[in-house]
Amino acid sequence: MSGISSSGVSDLKLKRFLEHNQRLQEQLEMRRISVSEASQSLIKFVMGTKDLLIPTLWGNPPSDPFSKQATGCCTVS
C-alpha cells in the first residue's frame, strides 16, 4: 500500500493555495477607514470620557476612596 500519491499531494497543495487566496480576497474586500478617521475617532472618545486618574484634565474625585476614613477604623479611647 503506497502513501499519498504525488497527485494527492498536488491536490492538497492546490486546495491550500485556493483557501489562502480566498482569505486574501476577503482581506482585499474588507472595508477599512483611513488613519486620520481612526485617529479622530480615538481622540474624540478619549477627550470625551471622564478619567479621574488624570486630575489635571478632569479634576479630583469628590471623595478619596483610599483615605483612612473610608476603611472605618475604630478608635480606642
Partner 1 sequence: MAERIANARKEAEYLKDKIREKKAALNDTSLKVMSQELEPLTRINIRIRRVLKGHLAKIYAMNWASDKKHLVSASQDGKLIVWDAYTTNKVYAIPLRSSWVMTCAYAPTGNLVACGGLDNMCSIYNLRTREGSVKVARELSAHSGYLSCCRFMNDRQILTSSGDMSCMLWDVDAGMKTMEFNDHTGDVMSLSISPDQRLFVSGACDSTAKVWDIRSGRCVQTFTGHESDINAVQFFPNGDAFGTGSDDASCRLFDLRADREMNIYTHDNILCGITSVAFSISGRLMFAGYDDYNCNVWDTLRSDRVGVLMGHENRVSCLGVASDGMAMCTGSWDTTLKVWS
Positions in 41-70 near partner 1 (CB under 8 A): 41-43, 45-47, 49-57, 61, 65-66, 70
Binding of residue 30 to partner 1 (CB under 8 A):
yes
Give 12's contacts (C-beta < 8 A, 6+ positions apart). Answer: 4
- How big is the CA angle at 45 (ends 53 and 33), to the nearest 5 degrees? 140
What sign has the CA pseudo-torsion 54, 56, 57, 60? Answer: positive
Q: What minimum distance in Å lies between the beta carbon of 22 and partner 1?
A: 10
What residues line the site for partner 1 (CB under 8 A)? Answer: 7, 10-11, 13-14, 17-18, 20-21, 24-25, 27-28, 30, 32-43, 45-47, 49-57, 61, 65-66, 70-71
